[in-house]
Structure 1
């Protein structure tokens, strides 16, 4: 099995504490932020800390119905989370799992989100850029929707 790593940085006008809280600590608000895209976010095992398993259920218009992620590391004070997609309704013909690391770093009054994705690929399979693009686009779309919502609602996740 090989590992393909992809990194990206996204800047935001929102403080790192609010982005981290909205996306990781209070992720149950995501259906309110993206009502057509996300139906629910719930912990099916654990209380939200390390070892917990979170299931996200997506709307009918999405190409994916659900994902289950296991939280591998969660550091609220440094705005860092590492999690592994352990199950999904998408059939991975090339990928065994995806490990995500996300860190928010203060930048002025906003932040920079540094994300690294490790795609654990089946042996003898090649993962192409277009294979990764769909997941990258979904993550960016969600990030921007959360950012817009937090700017419009300054008391949320404050």
Structure 2
């Protein structure tokens, strides 16, 4: 049986900038902003990537599907993550879920701090 968990993070950064930093340039920014969580990012197909470093539930899950959404909230944004997973029978994943949420929040906040320190980097172009 599948289960899921969700987390939402509000940022003071515009949604377009958060999206670009988190998804378009994550291969460069992820390892730079949070090297304790991400050691590298590898493009695995035209529209997907895999991050090296810590892995949620590496041997405890049969499957996991994350869904990330960046929504505008005025000049700010909300980043939402919902992960649907199927744990291996008997596996206890509560601590892994807690670490997954903490890692996601840390990632979004690191992007927010980067954008605040580099305000023109992902500015919307006309």
> What TM-score, normalized by structure 1, do the two folds share?
0.67
**Structure with more relative contact order (C-alpha pairs < 8 Å, separation 6 or more):** 2
Q: Does 1:129 align with 2:94?
A: yes
Task: Find 1:138's aligned residue among 99, 103, 109.
Answer: 103
Task: Find 2:69's aligned residue among 100, 103, 110.
Answer: 103
C-alpha distance in structure 2 between counterparts of 1:55 and 1:8, whole Å: 20
| RMSD over equivalenced CA pairs, Å | 2.2
Task: Find 2:51's aligned residue among 48, 56, 60.
Answer: 56
> What TM-score, normalized by structure 2, do the two folds share?
0.82
2:14 aligned residue: 15
Shift of 1:26: 1.4
**Secondary structure, in 3 states, of the residue corresponding to 1:39?**
strand
Aligned residues: 122
1:83 aligned residue: none
Higher helix share: 2
In structure 1, list runs of 5 or more residues that go unmatched.
59-63, 68-87
